[in-house]
Amino acid sequence: MRKQRALFALVCLLLGAVSAGLLLGQRTREYKSDQFLMDTLVSIRVYGKDADKLREAVAAAYAEMHRIADLADGFPQPGTTAYRISDVCRINEQAGLKPVSADKDVIAMLTLAKKYHSLSEGAFDVTIGPVMDLWGFGRNDPQVPPPGRLGEALALVGSKDLVVNEREQTVFLRKAGMKLDLGAVAKGYATEKAIQALKRHGIEKALIDAGGNIRVLGKSRRDIPWRIGIKDPRKADALTAVLALEDSAAVTSGDYYRYFEAGGKRWHHILDPRTGYPAAENMSVTAVTADAGLADVLSTVFFVLKPEKALELAEKLEGVDLFLVADDGRILHTPGLRGRVEVKAGEGYRHDQGR
Amino acid sequence: MTRADRYLAAGILLIAILSVALFYYRSSLSSGKAASVGAVISAQGKIVRKIDLSPGGGKTTFLVSGRLGPATVEVEGKRVRMVDAPCPERICIKQGWIENPGESIVCVPGETVIHVEGAAPVDAVTR
């Protein structure tokens, strides 16, 4: 009888302790915040125990993103404060005149851009500005440019005339009329800076969604890899695949998001810098790699290249993976994604398991 | 075991069971498995409207004042879409209907967001 009583008391005590532990400890909170920034909606989710610390971390992350956005903004009107604090505006203004001293983050973005300009043999070019202006994406009146004017603008595109001096921290566009467009770099680079800010504030689990550019830190709240869907390029509410990611970025470039219609054709906004026309090899490509800045650049590089070329380049780069839906409906990915991707190819797509 | 012992033991057991139940109830709430599906509409950083999305619901339209001016939102049963907005590229309108938890329509120039609430099958979508 005495033994039984002791056992009973012990069980009660244990149950009490376990339940108290469940209630008091392990209180992982989520803090979520949205901001319109860099021409998109940026959503940051962080997880941790202290609500104040989570808020501070997210504020610091947004501050970093705003700083990069201001440096890289190519759209402000001359004479405004936004124009004066934009390194990109000042570099463009001095094209053909003289080198301009620039922030170390602008130097880093341009160095990255130049590297992938040569690795992709010109399929990626941040000096695409004059051609982008001619098409007018994002304005009220986008249009297919007349071939003559397109030729003139294309003559001003070429990263070999973009001089980045890392020692002097200066940038120079050699020809008058040249123009930088950091649209394919800045958002990813800023996202990576935001992740670094979160880490400095002790955050170990986070997800940043910058208009569909995804960067995750650590594992998800349930301590399993984050599940990141890849949007179906032709069916609005469907997914082509789901990726299982931790400490990684996934950035997609597609032909379906930003476009206009003219002459019975769709014209999307990712231009091949070698032709000046929208790239037509792929419906969508998703670059997967640790750094969000690199993933952003690579998504544009891979989108412009032919599928086989893109896969070949991805396999050559260390720590880089690629998932793509080619223009003819083929779904292909690098071997590195095996076990991390669940393909949900719907009608109209072909997924060859062999690749 | 005296009578007082028994009461004490029963009390501790009851508290233990209740708190375990409460813990699981709360974690099921926070994982977002809410029964009713709805959408939240925000404009310029503020929540301006919450709507129910139920299969039997009729068709309604209403205006939301975005940064560039009023935008028209349409709800029909369990789905919602943007039918008119004063933005240049009209990306939000071209997107069409949304109805699944986790889906959003975002109008960047108008700073307007329509978000369907509930447990999404994925943590985020790259596009």
Task: For residue A200, report the phi and psi dihedrals to the nearest 5 degrees.
Answer: -60, -30
Query: If pLDDT is split at 50, 70 and 90, which confidence band does A345 have?
Result: confident
Per-residue pLDDT of A311-323, as tens digits, reads 999 999 999 999 9
Query: How long is chain A?
Result: 355
Residues of A in contact with B27 (CB under 8 A): none
Q: Is B67 exposed, middle or buried (0-12, 13-18, 19+ CB in 10 A)?
A: middle
According to DSSP, the residues that pair with B65 across neighbouring strands are: B70
Question: Which pLDDT belongs to residue A343?
Answer: 95
Residues of A in contact with B111 (CB under 8 A): 36
Per-residue pLDDT of A181-193, as tens digits, reads 999 999 999 999 9
DSSP 8-state assignment for residue B98 = B
Give ∠ CA B18-B22-B24 in degrees, rounded to 5.
120
Per-residue pLDDT of A120-129, as tens digits, reads 999 999 999 9
B118 vs A47, more confident? A47
- DSSP symbols for A276-310: SSB--SEEEEEEEES-HHHHHHHHHHHHHS-HHHH
Chain A interface test: which of B53, B116, B127 (most A C-beta within 10 Å): B127
Question: Which pLDDT belongs to residue B18?
Answer: 75
Rounded to two decimals, the ipTM of the complex is: 0.90
Chain B interface test: which of A15, A31, A298 (most B C-beta within 10 Å): A15
Q: Name the helix (H) or strand (E) containing A18.
A: helix A2-24
> What's the predicted TM-score (pTM) here?
0.86
Question: Which pLDDT belongs to residue B57?
Answer: 81
CA distance A331 to A333: 7
CB-based contact B91 A242, cutoff 8 Å: no
Per-residue pLDDT of A73-84, as tens digits, reads 998 999 999 999
Please give the CATH topology (third level) of the domain spanning A225-351: T-fold (3.10.520)
pLDDT above 70: residue B25: no
CATH architecture of structural domain A75-173: Orthogonal Bundle (1.10)
Q: Which of B12, B100, B108 sits opposite A36 (nearest CB)?
A: B108
CB-based contact A258 B89, cutoff 8 Å: yes
Question: Which pLDDT belongs to residue B27?
Answer: 53
CA distance B4 to chain A (A): 13
Question: Which pLDDT belongs to residue A293?
Answer: 98
Task: For residue A263, report the phi and psi dihedrals to the nearest 5 degrees.
Answer: 55, 35
B38 vs A15, more confident? B38
Domain ranges of chain A: 75-173, 225-351
Question: Rg of chain B over CA atoms, in angstroms?
Answer: 22
CA distance A75 to B14: 65
Per-residue pLDDT of A141-165, as tens digits, reads 899 999 999 999 999 999 999 999 9
Question: Which pLDDT belongs to residue A92?
Answer: 98
Domain ranges of chain B: 1-31, 38-116
Q: Is B13 exposed, middle or buried (0-12, 13-18, 19+ CB in 10 A)?
A: middle
Tokens 């190819």 map to which residue?
A: A345
pLDDT above 90: residue A15: no
Question: Which pLDDT belongs to residue A217?
Answer: 98
CATH architecture of structural domain B38-116: Sandwich (2.60)
CB-based contact A19 B89, cutoff 8 Å: no
- Other Cβ atoms within 10 Å of A332 Cβ, number: 20
Query: If pLDDT is split at 50, 70 and 90, which confidence band does A5 have?
Result: low
Helices then strands, each counted (H, E), chain B: 2, 8
pLDDT above 70: residue A1: no
Per-residue pLDDT of A20-66, as tens digits, reads 655 555 578 999 999 999 999 999 999 999 999 999 999 999 999 99
Task: For residue A59, report the phi and psi dihedrals to the nearest 5 degrees.
Answer: -60, -40
Task: For residue A20, report the phi and psi dihedrals to the nearest 5 degrees.
Answer: -65, -40
Question: Which pLDDT belongs to residue A353?
Answer: 59
Question: Which pLDDT belongs to residue A17?
Answer: 65
CA distance A343 to B79: 26
CA distance B64 to chain A (A): 17
The mean predicted confidence, pLDDT, of chain A is 93
- Other Cβ atoms within 10 Å of B44 Cβ, number: 13
Q: Is A110 exposed, middle or buried (0-12, 13-18, 19+ CB in 10 A)?
A: buried
Task: Specify the long-range contacts of residues A11-20, CB closer than 8 Å, at least 24 apart.
Answer: A12/B9, A12/B12, A12/B13, A12/B16, A13/B12, A15/B12, A15/B13, A15/B16, A15/B17, A15/B20, A16/B12, A16/B15, A16/B16, A18/B16, A18/B20, A19/B15, A19/B16, A19/B17, A19/B19, A19/B20, A19/B23, A20/B19
The answer to whether A255 touches A268, Cβ cutoff 8 Å, is yes
Query: If pLDDT is split at 50, 70 and 90, which confidence band does A9 have?
Result: low
Residues B25-35, mean pLDDT to the nearest whole number: 49
Report the share of chain A in percent with pLDDT over 70.
92
CA distance A227 to chain B (A): 5
Question: Which pLDDT belongs to residue A199?
Answer: 98
